[in-house]
C-alpha cells in the first residue's frame, strides 16, 4: 500500500462541549504526508478548539486521534509533543531578551559538567540551533547571538518554528495565524519558511482567516462552521468563492465581499 496515501494524522468524530456550548460536533480530519492543510472558518467556528484538542490543551469528550494509524490518548500538551505534534501560536512565545539558540532550546538546554557542577553548554546549544535553523527550517540568521527583539517578524517566526521542529520525530506542525500582522516582505519570507519545513518532511496544519494566503500555501482547505465539519476543498480544483460559500453556508460573490 502506498504510504503517501495513508494519513499521518486522523481525527475522527471529535466532540467537545463547555457546559451547554457544543464547541465541536463530530468533527473528522485527515492530514497526509508532506501536506499543508488549512483550516478556515469564521470566529467561533471551532478551529481553535479542534487544534487545542489535538495539542492537549483540551481533552475531547469523544472521538479518536491517530498518528500513522496508532491510537493516541492525548490529555496534556506533553502527550501531544511525545506523539510528534507541535504548535507555533500567533504570539510565538519567544523571550525577547534571549538569543535565538536560547529561545530554540528554552527549557531543554544542553548541560555540561565541570568538576561535577552542571552548566548550560552554550557552545553546543549554539551549534545545534544553527543546524536546526539551516537544515530543518531553511534559514541562516545574520546574527544568531543577537537578542530576538532585534529580529524581523519573519526571523522571529523562524526561531519559533525551529523550537517546534527541534524534536527528531516531529510529524505534524500546527501554525496558528503565522502571517498575521506581517508586512509584504516578511509575509513572503514566512511563506518560504513554511514551504521549507514541508519540503523537509513535516506535514503542516495552517489556521488562517486570509484566503489569499490559504490559496497560495495550502494543498487542501478544511472548512468549519458552527463547530462542525462543513467541507473540504482541494485548492488546485477550487476557488475562493467555493470556500467562502462553505464558510458562510451559501454561494458568495467574492468580489462583493472584498
**Mean pLDDT, the chain, integer:** 87
Task: Say which CATH topology domain 3-257 has.
Answer: Rossmann fold (3.40.50)
pLDDT at 257: 42
| Residue 4: predicted pLDDT | 56
Cell (9 digits) for 45: 467556528
Which tens digits make up the pLDDT trace of 56-109? 999 999 999 999 999 999 988 889 988 999 888 877 888 999 999 999 988 777
Q: What is the pLDDT of residues 203-225, one digit of tens each?
A: 999 998 889 999 999 999 999 99
**228-234 and 220-225: which strand pairing?**
antiparallel
The whole-angstrom separation of Cα 36 and Cα 219 is 5
pLDDT band at 251 (very low <50, low <70, confident <90, very high): low
- Nearest CA to 109 out of 129, 86, 84 is that of 129
Contacts of 162 (CB under 8 A, 6+ apart): 100, 104, 129, 132, 133, 136, 137
pLDDT tens track for 218-248: 999 999 999 999 999 999 999 999 999 999 8
pLDDT higher than 70, residue 115: yes
Per-residue pLDDT averaged across 122-147, rounded? 88
pLDDT in the model for residue 60: 94
pLDDT at 168: 58
Question: pTM to 2 decimals?
Answer: 0.84
Amino acid at each position: 500500500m502506498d504510504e503517501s496515501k495513508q494519513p499521518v494524522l486522523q481525527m475522527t468524530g471529535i466532540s467537545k462541549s463547555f457546559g451547554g456550548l457544543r464547541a465541536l460536533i463530530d468533527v473528522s480530519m485527515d492530514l497526509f504526508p508532506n501536506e499543508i492543510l488549512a483550516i478556515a472558518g469564521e470566529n467561533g467556528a471551532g478551529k481553535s478548539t479542534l487544534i487545542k484538542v489535538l495539542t492537549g490543551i483540551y481533552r475531547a469528550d469523544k472521538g479518536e486521534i491517530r498518528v500513522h494509524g496508532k491510537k493516541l490518548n492525548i490529555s496534556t500538551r506533553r502527550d501531544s509533543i511525545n506523539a510528534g505534534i507541535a504548535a507555533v501560536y500567533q504570539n510565538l512565545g519567544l523571550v525577547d531578551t534571549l538569543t535565538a539558540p536560547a529561545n530554540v532550546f528554552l527549557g531543554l538546554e544542553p548541560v555540561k559538567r565541570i568538576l561535577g557542577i552542571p552548566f548550560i553548554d552554550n557552545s553546543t546549544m549554539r551549534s545545534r540551533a544553527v543546524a536546526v535553523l539551516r537544515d530543518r527550517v531553511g534559514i541562516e540568521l545574520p546574527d544568531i547571538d543577537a537578542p530576538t527583539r532585534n529580529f524581523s517578524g519573519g526571523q522571529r517566526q523562524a526561531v519559533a518554528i525551529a523550537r517546534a521542529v527541534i524534536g527528531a520525530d516531529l510529524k505534524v506542525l500546527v501554525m496558528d495565524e503565522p502571517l498575521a500582522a506581517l508586512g509584504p516582505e516578511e509575509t513572503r519570507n514566512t511563506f518560504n519558511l513554511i514551504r521549507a519545513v514541508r519540503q523537509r518532511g513535516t506535514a503542516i496544519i495552517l489556521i488562517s482567516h486570509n484566503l489569499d494566503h490559504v490559496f497560495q500555501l495550502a494543498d487542501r482547505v478544511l472548512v468549519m462552521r458552527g463547530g462542525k465539519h462543513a467541507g473540504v476543498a482541494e485548492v488546485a480544483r477550487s476557488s475562493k468563492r467555493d470556500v467562502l460559500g462553505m464558510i458562510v453556508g451559501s454561494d458568495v460573490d467574492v468580489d462583493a465581499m472584498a
